[in-house]
Each structure stands twice: as structure tokens, then as C-alpha cells.
Amino acid sequence: MKGLEAMGEAAIRAGCRYFFGYPITPQSELPEYMARRLPEVGGVFLQAESEVAAINMVFGAAGAGGRVMTSSSSPGISLKQEGISYIAGAELPCVIVNMMRGGPGLGGIHPSQSDYFQATKGGGHGDYRLLVLAPASVQELADLMFEAFELSERYRNPVLVLGDGLLGQMMEPVRLPPEQAVAPPNRPWATTGARGRAPNLVSSFHIDPAELEALNLRLQEKYRTIRAEQTRFAVEDPEGDARLFLVAYGTAARVCRAAMRRARAEGIPTGLIRPISLWPFPDAAFEQVMERALGFLTVELSLGQMVEDVRLAVAGRRPVEFYGRTGGMLPDPEAIVERLHLLWEKVGVRHG
Amino acid sequence: MSDKVLHYCPGCTHGLAHRLVAEVIDELGILERTIGVASVGCSVFAYDYFRCDFQQAAHGRAPAVATGIKRVHPEAVVFTYQGDGDLAAIGTAEIVHAAARGEQITVIFINNAIYGMTGGQMAPTTLVGQATTTTPQGRAPERAGYPVRMSEILATLDGAAYIARMSLHDPLHVGRARRAIRKAFEVQLKGLGFSMVELLSSCPVNWGLKPIEALHWIEQRMIPSFPLGELKNTAGVV
């Protein structure tokens, strides 16, 4: 199944019944899939007049208690940032998909990971965080998409699924999650018409500074909980002997897996750390390998964004190097192996 | 309406517009299925005054937020309450396309020819020659363009079923405005399409006029630029 279609089907099986979006390459097959499938399950697909309108329709539908999502690609996600900030401020659940393409500006349509900062450090205005999930296969696109809805509702927080055009277009076998019975939503805060109860208000507006500070402190408390509960990663170390670790997510992790095999064949004991939650960033992955690790090489489809979080996690204890390609170019496994050789010369030989 | 004391400036007609909308909602007996959308601007606190569910929208986005709500709850009565900066400037795309889709929502559009909450700057509806803090010599068309007549624009769209412009400057016109608001909600209740009532309103503080003078200014200056009446009533609601 194609990645984007797997995402759409997983969303529907997770109970998503509302999709508001606007076409942009390379993710248009997802809204197209939803336009076909949602009416079949009694849902609503609506093509908005812009990304700005689409995310605000998501705001309205989420506030009204609907299980709702939108999807876009980099320039479109920039337009959605206003609404995402409001949704985070009003603490509404929803799922947002960004199939990244090269930037800045209109950039290009080829796969990229240059929206990492925007995804994990804010994007819109205000002190808020999104839960950011980064799949690396069609199976994970489906699994994480399904989970994204559950997580967004558990924490009443928007969840961002961060992929790229390559993953979306890729065809791989996939086992779809079972259809989830759409439970009658238990959302006492939602705007459903105030029959027999006091009126509900969905808002991110707090003109009293003490009230706004209290909201922000409460949000930080929620983010601390998410940090404690939702750190996800995979460590690949086939022989359990790795001394150098590649660090990469999504498409870059797939390239790194090939580089890891090649480096191992050339005598460099290499492993791979694959962050799956980008926020919260999985610091624990580094603690797990720190004792035996001699160095880290972060590989991204950007000129160095996640590497900043890797350096924070490693905290100067080991060298952290970086290799990246950008603009839609993919890193070449050979070039990665070459850099592993250089790092191994620096730290491995000394270590014997 | 709630018992809360209105925050609006003396002589502002927002309170009057709120009262009319609230009375119509009560008359139609739809309070418990009405969901309002408050916009950014002076009326951002509208949700404090209506005793129905409310969502607060980003500047200009109320029609998109209302669309999301209505699609989840087609049986609900959804209305937005927007000023002229919100609806005719930053939110032009959202209002045009909500109307074009025939979205089953009702829009209450407050036109006071100026930006109120931000302190009296030029609005898209500011009259030619009208002084504001950003047109201190008066709006000059060669630099700042012409006022936008949103009701006329929206009336051209097939999805718009009922579009009316009314004024709040005297009791006779307030009565007409009330009837138009009722019709707009009836259009939604009958599922006939998009409905909007534009209300010419006062802003004595930012216009630099006394409340009574402000009402005269609506009559003498605004109405010639923004003619009153039903611009569209394909729904045949009388």
C-alpha cells in the first residue's frame, strides 16, 4: 500500500471522521484518499480555500468534539501555524500531518527534513509544544497515525506526524490497525449546544496576565507529563557491539541503515539510534548506549537541525558530528560511511 | 443574555446588536442548540454575554471555525459575530468562501467604519475623507483606496441565501435590523444557505464624537456609502 493511503486508512480506522485540507505536493493523495473514503463511513471531507482556513476548520471541529485531522507539506504547514498555536492554546485534540519538502520559501517538492525546528520548537507563537512523531516505513506511517489520534485526545494536544514525500509515495506491505469503534465522544468541554448544562467556551484568549500565566504553567506541566510518558525511539545494534552510532529519523534513518550495514562490513562497529518521537526528544536513547558509545554521527535531510538536540542529549560527553544533504537531495550511504571512517580514526583507533 | 455588565464604550451599539441577536435566539427557542463564534476585536468577549456555547476564533477566521463546528453538528445553529476589520480585511477569504460554499451559518457583521479595539485605525470600510489614526488627513483614495461593500460582494455569490444591511442609529431602524436578524437565523434553520446581516454601528470614542452625534453620523455619512436594505433574499423569507 502507498504510504499516504496507509495514513488515510489508519486515520479512518482510528475513528477520524473530519478532514479539512488544501492540496499541496507531495501529500495530495492523502486528502484525495479521504475525499473518497470519508463519505463512505459517514464522515466529512472538505477542501478549504486555503491552509489558513483548513486549520481553523480543524479548530472549530475539534472544539465541537469531532475527531479531526488535516495534512499539508512545508509551505502549507507554515500557513497553518497561526491555527496550530490557537489549537495548542485552547487545548484541543487533533492530528496534523506534514510531509516535508525542501525549503525555504516555495523550495521544491522533493523529500526533506528541514522543518524539524518548526515542528519541535514551536512554529507558531507562544510557549507551546506539539507531540511530534516521525515514522520511517509505511507500517509506521499507519501505526503512528493511528496512535496519534489516541495521544492527541489523551493529552488534549495537537499531534504532528512528520514524514516526507519519499515515505508518502513509497509502497510497502502494511498490516493496518483494526477498525476502532467510534465511541461516543466523552468531551464535556466541547461546544455541542448547551442543553441542560452551563455554556462551554473554547478559547485561547486570557487578558488577565495572572490567568494566562496559570494556563502556561499548566501547559508546561502537561508537557512534562508527555515528556515522561511518550519518549519513543529504536536502537539498532545487530551484534550488540556498536561503538559509533548513527542518529537519524524518517527517510534519513533508512539511508543510515544501509550505511550501517556497509560500515560494519568494513570493520566499523556501527549502530543506529532512531528517534521516533522528535518531541519529546528521546534523550534516554543516548543514555542507553553512552557507556559503550565513542561518538555519534547525526544524518539529516537538512543542514543540521536535530543535531542540536543530539548535542544537548550527549552534553559534551562524546563527539557529535553531522552530515546532511538538503534541497531534496538524499544522503549517499557511501558518503555517510566515509564520515564514519573519519570519526572512527578520531575516536576508535585511540580506543584500540 | 447573561447578567454581566457590558464592557463596551458609552454610545457604542455593540450592546444593542448583542441584545437583538439574543432576543431572536430566545424568540426562536434555539438557545440550547446555538453555538456562537467570537472574533478578534471589540466583540471578542461576546461569549461573556450570550448564554450559549461559544468558540473564540483567530482574527478573521470565524467563518472557517464556524464551518468546522457546523460540519460536526449540522443540527446546531451556528453564528459568527465579526467586526469590519475582522470580516472585511484579514478575513476576506474566509467570509467569501463560507458564503460561496453556502455554509449553513449566520453572520452578524458589525460595520463601524473603523478599527475599534486597536484604537481607531483605518478599516476597509472607512469612508473617503474620514480621519483615523492611520489616515490623519482623511482617507485619500489615491493612497488608501476605497471603502469595501461586503454585503454587495457577498450577495453576488450563489451560496448566499440572505444578505441584508441594516442600521442601529434610531428605533425605527433597530426594529428593521431585528427583523433581518430573525430572517437570517430562519434561513439557517430551514437549511437554505449562508446568511448575513451587516449592521451599521457607532464608535463614538474612535470617531471623536458624542454618542448622539455618532448616531447622526451613521445616518448622514455612512448610509449614503452603505445603502440599507435586503441585498439578497433568494430564500423567500418574509
Q: Contact A248/A276 with Cβ under 8 angstroms?
A: no
Q: Give B-chain residues touching A56 at CB under 8 angstroms.
A: 57-58, 61, 64-65, 68, 94
pLDDT band at residue A182 using 50, 70 and 90 as cut-offs: low
B56 contacts in chain A (CB < 8 Å): 90, 201-205
pLDDT single digits (tens) B40-74 = 999 898 999 999 999 999 999 999 999 999 999 99
Contact in structure between A128 and A88 (CB atoms under 8 Å) = yes
Using alpha carbons, list the distances in angstroms from residue A190 to A30, A61, A64, A183, A342. Answer: 27, 10, 5, 15, 57
CB contact under 8 A, A193 and B55: no
Q: Which ranges in chain B belong to alpha helices (H)?
A: 14-28, 62-72, 84-85, 92-100, 141-144, 150-155, 171-189, 204-207, 211-217, 223-225
Tell whether the model's pLDDT for residue A351 goes beyond 80. Answer: no
Average pLDDT rounded to a whole number, residues A320-341? 97
Chain A residue whose CA is closest to B66: A60
Q: Which burial class, exposed, middle or buried, applies to B102 when counting CB atoms under 10 A from its CB (0-12, 13-18, 19+)?
A: middle
From chain A, pick out residues whose CB is under 8 angstroms from the CB of B66: 60
To the nearest 10 degrees (0 to 180), the angle between helices A51-63 and B62-72 is: 50
Most A-contacting residue of B7, B25, B32, B71 (CB-CB within 10 A), to test interface: B71
Q: Which residues pair with B162 in a beta bridge?
A: B195, B233
- Measured between CA atoms, the residue of chain A closest to residue B37 is A60
pLDDT for res A348: 78
| DSSP symbols for B19-43 | HHHHHHHHHHT-GGGEEEEE-SSGG
**What single letter denotes the amino acid at residue B188?**
Q
pTM, whole model, 2 decimals?
Answer: 0.97
**B132-176: per-residue pLDDT in tens?**
999 999 999 999 999 999 999 999 999 999 999 999 999 999 999
Q: A135 or A183, which is more confident?
A: A135
pLDDT given at position A274: 98
Collapsing DSSP states into helix, strand and coil, what is residue B12? coil
User: How many contiguous H segments (helices) and E segments (strands) does chain A have?
Assistant: 13, 13
Residues on chain A touching B42 (C-beta within 8 angstroms): none
Question: Which one of B69, B97, B105 makes the best mutation probe of the A interface by having the most chain A beta carbons within 10 Å?
Answer: B69
> Measured between CA atoms, how close is A125 to chain B, in angstroms?
13
CB-CB under 8 Å, A53 with B97: yes
* Interchain pair A63, B76: CB under 8 A: no
Mean pLDDT of chain A: 96
pLDDT digits 0-9 by tens, A246-264: 999 999 999 999 999 999 9
Q: Which of B169, B50, B120, B43 is nearest to A199 (CA)?
A: B50
Q: Which residue has the cell 516555495?
A: A106
> Residue A350: its pLDDT value, please?
58
d(CA B56, CA B58): 7
Confidence bin at A180 (pLDDT 50/70/90):
confident
The DSSP output letter for B190 is T
Would you place residue B235 in the very low, low, confident or very high pLDDT band (cuts 50, 70, 90)? confident
pLDDT of residue A349: 66
Size of interface A-B (CB pairs under 8 A): 135
B233 pairs with which residues across the strands? B162
Calculate mean pLDDT across residues A294-323: 98
Query: Do residues B127 and B136 lie in contact, with contact meaning Cβ atoms separated by under 8 Å?
Result: no
pLDDT over threshold 70, residue A120: yes
Q: Which of A175-189, A194-208, B213-227 is predicted with the least confidence, judged by mean pLDDT?
A: A175-189
* The pLDDT of residue A184 is above 60: no
Helix, strand, coil shares of chain B as percentages rounded to 5?
A: 40, 20, 40
Side-chain-facing half-sphere of B37: CA atoms under 13 Å: 36
Which 3 state secondary structure label does DSSP give B110? strand
* Residue in A57, A68, A199 closest to B52 by CB: A199
